[in-house]
A and B are shown apart, each in its own frame.
Chain A
Amino acid sequence: MKKAIFPAMALALLYGCASTPTEEAKPGTPTPSAATPAPGAAAASPSAPTTAPIEQTPSDLLSKRSVFYDYDKYDIKDEYRPILQAHAKYLAQNRGKKMLVQGNCDERGSREYNIALGQRRAEGVKRTLLLMGAAGSQIEAVSLGEEKPRCSDHSEACWSQNRRGDMLYGGEY
């Protein structure tokens, strides 16, 4: 019943570095939250048709890992559906792959309530991926609440980056 994910010390330190504020990240232009390359990129790159526009290649969509939210909201905006579609397809085609979805909140309000709100965001992403073809056993939805902010300023510019759901594949967390 008790399922633990065992981090190596080095990985924990690496992750700490990767999750420090990235100033170039802007709402609506999500960037990968982990430093490791997307699994899809590695798998698809050698055979990807080079003539296709870059935005439409699966590897490009798979490199996008984040969904951003409005304040106090957890609904997934339409603009993120192609990204989720790509990840769901990748998961459906690679049943051995596991994903951790982490829900995040901005710093305002109760820390514990934000754990619950972040969980709802993460579960929204998970549910959408399941509807799009991924399997429940592949995805764990968890919340980081307001505890792991990507951006640490106390302004809406920062908060909008922190209201976020991240998709991480096995080996990236």
Chain B
Amino acid sequence: MNRAALFLAALLVFLAGTARAQLTIEITGGGANQIPIAILPFVGETMLPQSVTEIVEHDLSRSGRFRTLFVGGVSPLPAEPSQVNFADWKSRLADALVIGQTQRLPDGRFEVRFRLLDVPKQTQIGGIVFTLTAAQVRLTAHKIADFIYEKLIGERGVFSTRIAYVVKQGSRFELRVADADGQGAQSILISPEPIMSPAWSPDGTRMAYVSFQNKKPIVFVQSLSASRQPAPVANYRGSNSAPAWSPDGRQLAVVLTKDGGSQIYLMNPDGSNLRRITFSGAIDTEPFFTRDGQFIYFTSDRGGSPQIYRMPAGGGEASRVTFDGDYNVSPRISPDGKTLAYIARNSGRFQLMAMDLDTRQAQPLTDGQNDESPSFAPNSRMILYASDVENRGVLAAVSSDGRVKQRLTIQAADVREPSWGPFLGN
């Protein structure tokens, strides 16, 4: 290790608790066809440090896919389906009902047992029993919300996934990881110099990012477990940036300028086995792998203005993907491979666009002024991006169909460079 790494290590902080300023989420638009659902407080859940059902309810309503119903006045609370007054919930127009109970185990841990019920059919859709510590309440609640979402919507939920983002406060930069709802944030890097382009490894255990610690952009890979120091993996003469993981986690695409001009290279995540894959005299940057690992989308100005191109993942002939306008950048492909999200400059505004890759039809998803850095949720349903409100950086999320909109802000800080992590256990 060199002095730079030690310097970084000195600044590296794994906070035992949570970062002080939390992201707060404001829902600025709702979806159509919301499912009416009643989430009853779990019997005995007051013994937990946090209410599980409040977090579940918050998750589901934030998704824009559910309408959570008022559940006051139910006494006693049902713990089993046999104790549920289905006629009452039918009259309250609930399609689904969530009930559960909590117990303290002899070893000090807790057991949370919940059931998801179909009100019109008066049947149980499913249920899970969790054994958890007090520190796992939030994760358990997110997993319950994921279960409900998947059963009722028919696709995987992302409530138990995590997001990464950069916070700038004065001259201090922090790379943080938080739950997808912005809570439980932890700093994984603190630096007096800018941090940008965080990218999760596909298994969620490592983060690649660009640090200006050494007065120029250098690509680092850092393990998210506290034991290891961040390692510079691309530190060549010139600039090193734009890391992107291959879907199998075995390769990192980066942009280097060591051979003159910004060009795309592939390397192993430890920096070995470097090879160049673009050979243009133009700018080639912002590589992004498709989920099947077959292609890399990237930004290039080889045609005279920055546009999005696609090439085989090992390099080769590139084909142009965007044609409208003179500034189309930051390509990201949805995990299901159907949608290209990117940033377009339209009449001086930078807007988030979504292109259907079958029809090649593109539509703006936002009407912002300075939207940038899009990142798909692992279920392809939402896109997280950076925006600004009154000249302050905020994160925002929009559903791929543009209907559901959320904004995530931190008081008195600039938030930027969001990156949505993978599904847990993947």
Binding site for B on A (CB under 8 A): 1-7, 9, 12-13, 15-16, 20, 100, 102, 107-113, 115-120, 123, 140-145, 147-148, 154, 173
Contact = CB atoms under 8 A, between A and B. Distances in A.
B216 A5 contact: yes
Interface of B: 2-4, 7, 171, 192-194, 196-197, 210, 212-218, 232, 235-239, 241-242, 255, 257, 260-262, 283, 285-286, 299, 306, 327, 329-330, 343, 345, 350, 370, 372-373, 391, 417
Contacts of A5: 214-216
A111 B197 contact: yes
A147 B212 contact: yes
For the residues of A in contact with B, the DSSP-based class is: mixed
Contacts of A107: 370
A7 B215 CA distance: 8
A115 B237 contact: no
Nearest to A17: B171
Given A2-B235, A15-B215, A173-B215, A148 B194 contact: yes
Contacts of B417: 111
A123 B283 contact: no
Given A110-B299, A110-B329, A116-B285, 18 more contacts: A4-B2, A4-B232, A6-B4, A7-B4, A7-B215, A16-B171, A110-B330, A112-B242, A112-B255, A113-B285, A115-B242, A115-B255, A123-B260, A141-B238, A142-B217, A143-B217, A144-B217, A147-B194
Which 10 residue pairs of A and B lie closest in terms of their CB atoms, listed nearest first?
A: A142-B216, A147-B194, A116-B262, A110-B329, A116-B283, A143-B239, A116-B285, A6-B3, A2-B235, A112-B242
Contacts, number: 134
Contact of B236 (A2, A12, A108): A2
A2 B270 CA distance: 13
Contacts of A140: 216, 237-238
A113 B3 contact: no
Q: Which of B214, B218, B417 has the most CB of A within 10 A?
A: B214
A108 B327 CA distance: 11
9 contacts: A4-B232, A7-B214, A16-B192, A140-B238, A142-B217, A143-B217, A144-B194, A147-B212, A173-B215
A168 B183 CA distance: 42
A2 B232 contact: yes
A140 B238 CA distance: 6
Q: Which of A1, A6, A113, A118 has the most CB of B within 10 A?
A: A113
Contacts of B232: 2, 4
B394 to A, nearest CB: 15
Contacts of B350: 108-109
Contacts of B210: 115
B2 A115 contact: no
